[in-house]
Amino acid sequence: METLRAVIQANGLVVAFLVVGAAVWLSYWASRHLTRGRIHGSAIAIILGLLAAYAAGLASGGTRGVVDIGLLAGIGLMGGGMMRDFGIVSTAFGVQLSELRQAGIVGVVSILAGVLVSFIAGALIALAFGYTDAESITTIGAGAVTYIVGPVTGTAIGASSDVIALAVAAGVVKSILVMIGTPLVARHIGLNNPQSAMVFGGLMGTTSGVAGGLAATDPRLVPYGAMTATFYTGVGCLLGPSVLYFIVRALV
Amino acid sequence: MIIYGVALLAACLLTGLYLGELLGQLLGVQANVGGVGLAMLLLVMAGGSPRMRSLTTGASGEGVKFWSAMYIPIVVAMAASQNVVAAASGGMLAVLAGVLAVVVSFALVPVLSRIGPQSPPLPPLEQEP
């Protein structure tokens, strides 16, 4: 037993390939036999991953899902930012430049609209919960943009640490909701072509959410959504502590 | 050689991330601005360039396709390493802020999709792991 544990711990990434492979197999089996293909296998796999992360977080008290369970630490490498970005970029292989150029302007519009709309949504909720100072309202609004924009903005304008924690939580809720919700609403919002995928990526912006949500809807849409989504956090970090903060400060 | 395709992918990602960092510093933002998006553009351009053909076709192309097929498993691993407990226990404020942002953004997708030239829906997908 000790020997097995040592082998597993010394080969984290290989263990991750095995565990994730088994989880994906199980999900596609469940998709075919339990939902008759109505829920896509990758959607089930992603939800399974989130459930595992929730259970592991409760058990370990950590912040990184199953990664905090010693034997599954390799999942953190496989699902970390480095591999995620490497995988996202590879999906662009085979995409035609002309398709991207066509949707260029609408992509820019959707990024700006997305940052603004999410910010307003977060700020309104902060107001509804009784926050009245511009720093807290701006930080929570920025958290609804993404969980990176929240703390970056909060730190820059000097919000309190519990407000920053709330902003991060709001961003994580958004990202997880996009992962789960996208395949459910895809048909109703016309998310079935490259152009709407670029609009979608620009509006949602959370890279993990868009990456997961589109993978669960139709993997062929991933490169288009990911392309615009990767600019979103940068634009959010640019506008949050500056223009948006000034506007909020002028209003309250 | 498969490694040529993998190396091309790595070159695109590193170049893109570096440009994204520079762009972030230029704008005075503590974030990488569009690094991954720029990397994707580089890969798209490499794929369309006749001079890069030896890196993007045949066995070299398989090196890129392998990673693109590994994408969903990577996303599953990413989902499994999220801080789901924090999202669930962030209280009503965090949940409502996240929900409202997502609902309004979802609703805007069909509105903004009407701007500019339309692209036709993709053909139906054959489900396959």
pLDDT 10s digits, A88-97: 888 888 777 7
Q: What is the ipTM of this complex?
A: 0.84
Residues B63 and B22 in one domain: yes
Residues B90 and B55 in one domain: no
Q: What is the mean pLDDT of chain A?
A: 87
**pLDDT beyond 90 at A52:** yes
Residues B76 and B26 in one domain: yes
CB distance B108–A114 less than 8 Å?
yes
Taking contacts as CB-CB distances below 8 angstroms, the residues of chain A near B6 are none
Nearest CA in chain A to B121: A193
Residue B122 lies in a domain: no
Beta carbons within 8 Å of A78's beta carbon, 6+ residues apart: A13, A16, A17, A20, B73, B74, B77
Taking contacts as CB-CB distances below 8 angstroms, the residues of chain B near A29 are none
- The 10 Å Cβ neighbour count of residue B116 is 16
Residues B87 and B37 in one domain: no
Q: Which amino acid, one-letter code, is at A113?
A: A
Residues B8 and B45 in one domain: yes
Residue B109: domain span: 83-115
Residues B18 and B37 in one domain: yes
Residues B77 and B89 in one domain: no
| Nearest-CB residue to A53 (from B82, B95, B107) | B82
The CA-based dihedral angle spanning residues B24, B27, B33, B34, taken in that order and rounded to the nearest 10 degrees:
-130
Kindly give the confidence (pLDDT) of every residue in chain B, 129 residues in length, as a single tens digit, with 9 standing for 90 and above.
Answer: 899 999 999 999 999 999 988 988 887 766 677 788 789 889 988 988 888 888 888 888 899 989 988 988 998 898 888 888 877 776 788 889 989 999 999 988 888 888 766 677 777 765 544
| Nearest-CB residue to A177 (from B73, B102, B122) | B102
Q: What is the pLDDT of residues A161-220, one digit of tens each?
A: 778 888 888 888 888 889 888 988 988 888 888 888 999 999 998 888 898 899 888 888
Would you state the pLDDT for residue B126?
56
Token pair in block for residue A240? 């949050």
Q: How many domains is chain B partitioned into structurally? A: 2
Residue B128 lies in a domain: no
Exposure string (b/e) for A63-96, b if CB count within 10 Å is 16 or more?
bbbbbbbeebbbbbebbbeebbbbbbbbbbbbbe
A14 pLDDT band, cuts 50/70/90, is: very high
